[in-house]
């Protein structure tokens, strides 16, 4: 069994276990997300550091968008989570294009940069609907985009992972990288929220 197939099967089994716990009334998706949120907030999010550096350093931003695997190494980070490095790309939101991530097969996700994935990311409903009707799904997350904004859905896989580079918020010119990193959320890195 190949490593990518095995990791996909594990992700599916984990989601089934989560759904059984929810069906038994022992927990809920919201409670699981809250636990994951506490775990992730206990240490600096690597993805937030990457975004903050890209916002503060235009040359790094260009290197990140050109070769994200190599740019990560500049920050002491890596996407080598197994026998072979994963291909990692960063997709940039602009005023006319908004990117959102999904794994239609299971729940492939750049854990090393974003922390554990939220339960909704693994749900069949999200995985199926965000591809067919991304604007409606984003609206359900509270993200209303202008009608003219193109929405691009990126499908991750065991071999290839993505991260969204959100638009830098207005009036953040005086903030340093650590202050900028505090603005970045996991949902912003997935593309289901603006930063």
Name the residue range of residue 20's domain: 3-190
| Tokens coding 157 | 């896989």
pLDDT band at 2 (very low <50, low <70, confident <90, very high): very low
pLDDT band at 5 (very low <50, low <70, confident <90, very high): very low
**From the CB of residue 146, how many other CB atoms can be counted at a distance below 10 Å?**
8
Q: Is 1 exposed, middle or buried (0-12, 13-18, 19+ CB in 10 A)?
A: exposed
The reply to whether the predicted model has a pTM over 0.75 is: yes
Provide the number of structural domains found in the chain. 1
Read off the pLDDT of each residue in 37-60 and give the average, rounded to a whole number. 80
Cα Rg, the chain, nearest whole Å? 17
- Percent of the chain exceeding pLDDT 70 equals 87
Per-residue pLDDT tens digits for 157-192: 888 899 999 999 999 999 999 999 999 999 999 999
pLDDT for residue 119: 87
H-helix or E-strand spanning residue 161: strand 160-165
CATH assignment at residue 97:
3.90.330.10
**Does some domain include residue 68?**
yes
SS3 content of the chain, % helix, strand, coil (to 5): 50, 10, 40
**From the CB of residue 33, how many other CB atoms can be counted at a distance below 10 Å?**
17
Instruction: Reply yes or no on whether the pLDDT at 81 is more than 70.
Output: no
**Does some domain include residue 195?**
no
Which residues are catalytic, by number? 103, 106-108
């Amino acid at each position: 069994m190949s490593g990518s197939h095995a990791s996909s099967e594990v992700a599916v089994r984990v989601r089934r276990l989560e759904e059984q716990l929810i069906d038994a009334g022992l927990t809920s998706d919201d409670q699981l997300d809250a636990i994951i949120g506490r775990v992730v907030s206990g240490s600096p999010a690597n993805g937030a550091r990457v975004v903050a550096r890209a916002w503060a350093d235009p040359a790094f931003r260009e290197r990140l968008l050109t070769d994200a695997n190599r740019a990560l190494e500049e920050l002491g980070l890596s996407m080598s989570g197994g026998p072979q490095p994963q291909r990692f790309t960063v997709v940039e939101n602009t005023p006319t294009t908004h990117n959102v991530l999904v794994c239609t097969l299971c729940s492939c996700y750049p854990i090393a940069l974003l922390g554990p994935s939220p339960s909704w990311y693994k749900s069949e409903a999200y995985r199926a609907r965000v591809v067919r009707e991304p604007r409606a799904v984003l609206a359900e997350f509270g993200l209303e985009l202008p009608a003219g904004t193109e929405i691009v859905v990126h499908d991750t896989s065991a071999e290839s992972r993505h991260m969204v580079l959100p638009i830098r918020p207005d009036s953040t010119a005086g903030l340093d990288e650590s202050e900028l990193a505090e603005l970045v959320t996991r949902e912003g890195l997935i593309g289901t929220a603006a930063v």
